[in-house]
Amino acid sequence: MKESIIRDKSYSFALRIIKLYQYLTLSSEHKEFVLSKQVLRSGTSIGANVKEAIRGQSKPDFRAKMSIALKEASETEYWLNLLYDSGYMDDKSFESIITDNVELIKILTSIVKSSEND
Protein backbone atom coordinates (compact mmCIF):
# COMPACT_ATOMS: atom_id res chain seq x y z
CA MET A 1 0.00 0.00 0.00
CA LYS A 2 1.46 3.36 -1.04
CA GLU A 3 0.54 5.06 2.22
CA SER A 4 2.56 2.63 4.31
CA ILE A 5 5.55 2.88 1.98
CA ILE A 6 5.50 6.65 2.10
CA ARG A 7 4.92 6.62 5.86
CA ASP A 8 7.90 4.34 6.45
CA LYS A 9 10.19 6.13 4.01
CA SER A 10 9.32 9.59 5.29
CA TYR A 11 9.90 8.46 8.88
CA SER A 12 13.29 6.96 8.01
CA PHE A 13 14.15 10.12 6.12
CA ALA A 14 13.22 12.25 9.15
CA LEU A 15 15.63 10.20 11.28
CA ARG A 16 18.39 10.82 8.73
CA ILE A 17 17.61 14.53 8.76
CA ILE A 18 17.84 14.59 12.57
CA LYS A 19 21.25 12.88 12.39
CA LEU A 20 22.38 15.39 9.75
CA TYR A 21 21.21 18.23 11.99
CA GLN A 22 23.14 16.80 14.94
CA TYR A 23 26.24 16.42 12.80
CA LEU A 24 26.02 19.99 11.47
CA THR A 25 25.34 21.62 14.82
CA LEU A 26 27.39 19.48 17.21
CA SER A 27 30.43 18.90 15.03
CA SER A 28 33.37 21.04 16.04
CA GLU A 29 34.18 21.29 12.34
CA HIS A 30 30.87 22.81 11.24
CA LYS A 31 28.77 24.53 13.91
CA GLU A 32 26.17 25.51 11.29
CA PHE A 33 22.83 26.52 12.82
CA VAL A 34 20.73 28.50 10.32
CA LEU A 35 20.49 26.20 7.28
CA SER A 36 20.53 23.08 9.43
CA LYS A 37 17.53 24.32 11.42
CA GLN A 38 15.62 24.91 8.18
CA VAL A 39 16.37 21.44 6.81
CA LEU A 40 15.45 19.92 10.18
CA ARG A 41 12.09 21.67 10.14
CA SER A 42 11.15 20.85 6.55
CA GLY A 43 12.70 17.36 6.51
CA THR A 44 10.83 16.17 9.58
CA SER A 45 7.62 17.87 8.50
CA ILE A 46 7.29 15.55 5.50
CA GLY A 47 6.53 12.52 7.65
CA ALA A 48 4.32 14.46 10.03
CA ASN A 49 2.11 15.58 7.16
CA VAL A 50 2.05 12.07 5.68
CA LYS A 51 0.92 10.72 9.05
CA GLU A 52 -1.81 13.37 9.22
CA ALA A 53 -2.89 12.56 5.67
CA ILE A 54 -3.24 8.87 6.41
CA ARG A 55 -5.49 9.73 9.35
CA GLY A 56 -7.31 12.40 7.33
CA GLN A 57 -11.03 12.90 7.71
CA SER A 58 -11.79 12.95 3.98
CA LYS A 59 -10.24 12.49 0.56
CA PRO A 60 -9.77 16.26 0.15
CA ASP A 61 -8.07 16.35 3.57
CA PHE A 62 -5.81 13.46 2.53
CA ARG A 63 -4.91 15.20 -0.72
CA ALA A 64 -4.24 18.53 1.02
CA LYS A 65 -1.90 16.97 3.61
CA MET A 66 -0.04 14.94 0.99
CA SER A 67 0.35 18.13 -1.06
CA ILE A 68 1.86 19.85 1.97
CA ALA A 69 4.22 16.89 2.46
CA LEU A 70 5.28 17.25 -1.18
CA LYS A 71 5.93 20.97 -0.71
CA GLU A 72 8.02 20.23 2.39
CA ALA A 73 10.00 17.61 0.47
CA SER A 74 10.71 20.16 -2.26
CA GLU A 75 11.78 22.72 0.34
CA THR A 76 14.05 20.12 1.94
CA GLU A 77 15.68 19.52 -1.43
CA TYR A 78 16.44 23.25 -1.60
CA TRP A 79 18.07 23.33 1.86
CA LEU A 80 20.08 20.17 1.17
CA ASN A 81 21.40 21.70 -2.06
CA LEU A 82 22.36 24.88 -0.20
CA LEU A 83 24.17 22.90 2.49
CA TYR A 84 26.05 20.93 -0.15
CA ASP A 85 26.88 23.86 -2.41
CA SER A 86 28.13 25.90 0.54
CA GLY A 87 30.51 23.12 1.59
CA TYR A 88 28.78 21.84 4.72
CA MET A 89 28.17 18.38 3.23
CA ASP A 90 30.60 16.13 1.40
CA ASP A 91 29.73 14.40 -1.87
CA LYS A 92 28.98 11.00 -0.35
CA SER A 93 26.67 12.30 2.38
CA PHE A 94 24.86 14.60 -0.01
CA GLU A 95 24.33 12.01 -2.75
CA SER A 96 22.93 9.52 -0.27
CA ILE A 97 20.40 11.83 1.37
CA ILE A 98 19.39 13.73 -1.78
CA THR A 99 18.62 10.39 -3.48
CA ASP A 100 16.21 9.57 -0.65
CA ASN A 101 14.71 13.05 -0.87
CA VAL A 102 14.13 12.79 -4.63
CA GLU A 103 12.53 9.37 -4.12
CA LEU A 104 10.12 10.89 -1.57
CA ILE A 105 9.26 13.66 -4.03
CA LYS A 106 8.49 11.11 -6.76
CA ILE A 107 6.30 8.99 -4.48
CA LEU A 108 4.45 12.01 -3.10
CA THR A 109 3.93 13.43 -6.59
CA SER A 110 2.41 10.12 -7.67
CA ILE A 111 0.13 10.00 -4.60
CA VAL A 112 -1.05 13.60 -5.07
CA LYS A 113 -1.71 13.07 -8.80
CA SER A 114 -3.60 9.83 -8.26
CA SER A 115 -5.66 11.32 -5.44
CA GLU A 116 -6.84 14.12 -7.75
CA ASN A 117 -8.68 11.50 -9.81
CA ASP A 118 -10.62 10.14 -6.84
Q: Residue 101: CB partners within 8 Å, gap ≥ 6? A: 13, 43, 73, 76, 77, 80
Check residue 62 and give its pLDDT.
95
Check residue 30 and give its pLDDT.
73
Check residue 118 and give its pLDDT.
63
Per-residue pLDDT, averaged over 42-55, amounts to 96
Check residue 98 and give its pLDDT.
98
Alpha carbon distance 34, 55 (integer Å): 32
Q: Where are the beta strands (DSSP E) in the chain?
A: none
Task: Indicate which CATH number applies to the domain containing 101.
Answer: 1.20.1440.60
Q: How many domains does the chain have?
A: 1
Taking residue 4's Cβ as centre, other Cβ atoms within 10 Å add up to: 9
Identity (one letter) of the amino acid at 11? Y
Mean pLDDT of the chain: 93
For the stretch 66-116, pLDDT in tens is: 999 999 999 999 999 999 999 999 999 999 999 999 999 999 999 999 998
> Is the pLDDT confidence value at 1 over 60?
no
Range of the domain at 68: 2-116
Check residue 12 and give its pLDDT.
98
